[in-house]
Amino acid sequence: MKDKNGTLKGFTLIEMMLYVSICSILLLALTSMFSLLIGARIKNQTIAEVNQSGIQVMQLITQTIRDAKSINAPLAPSSSSTLSIKMNNAILDPTIFDIASGTIRIKEGTSTYTTITNSKVKASSLLFTNTTVVASTTDGGSVGISFVLTYVTTSSSSDYSYSKVFNGNVSFH
């Protein structure tokens, strides 16, 4: 196509190749950035799920122990994956925490076991340590709590891989 002066207007082959190359590089950079953002979002959701589940389990266990009258098992100064506590409320006595098939469970009184972890996490290494001073008559008792939660995934991506150890200590009077 010619303009008024008789010169040709348009792009040369080299100019077209340069423009296509620049656009391709920009598109590749945007795609890579978007992929990284999606991966970071997935990792943050995974971490949040494990943290939220762990905090909820720890709060339920510690509040239940605070409401207890005494510790039935494990005896001081030993540890176990099962905690049995005597409750002030006869309907809830005894209250038992344990681990089975990767879930932490609670049993209150004569009721059946109830799972307190959700299906998105797997529990392991549950340990209750009775740290009560045996000779003490003023302290009600003290229990150390430790467990590991791992995010459950079928993906091989490391974005979905996350485990966290939760530790706590609670006393009651």
* Residue 2: band (very low, low, confident or very high) from pLDDT cuts 50, 70, 90: low
Give alpha helix (H) positions in 80-133. Answer: none
Q: What is the DSSP letter of 82?
A: -
132 C-beta neighbours (distance < 10 Å), count: 19
Give residue limits of the domains in the chain. Answer: 13-172
Pairing label, strands 95-100, 163-172: unpaired
Please give the mean pLDDT across all residues of the chain.
86
Name every residue whose Cβ is closer than 8 Å to that of residue 3 and which is 6 or more positions away in sequence: 9
The winner for highest mean pLDDT among 1-10, 72-81, 104-113, 155-164 is 104-113
Using DSSP, state whether 108 is helix, strand or coil.
strand
The pLDDT tens digits for 110-154 are 899 999 999 899 999 999 998 887 655 455 678 899 999 999 887
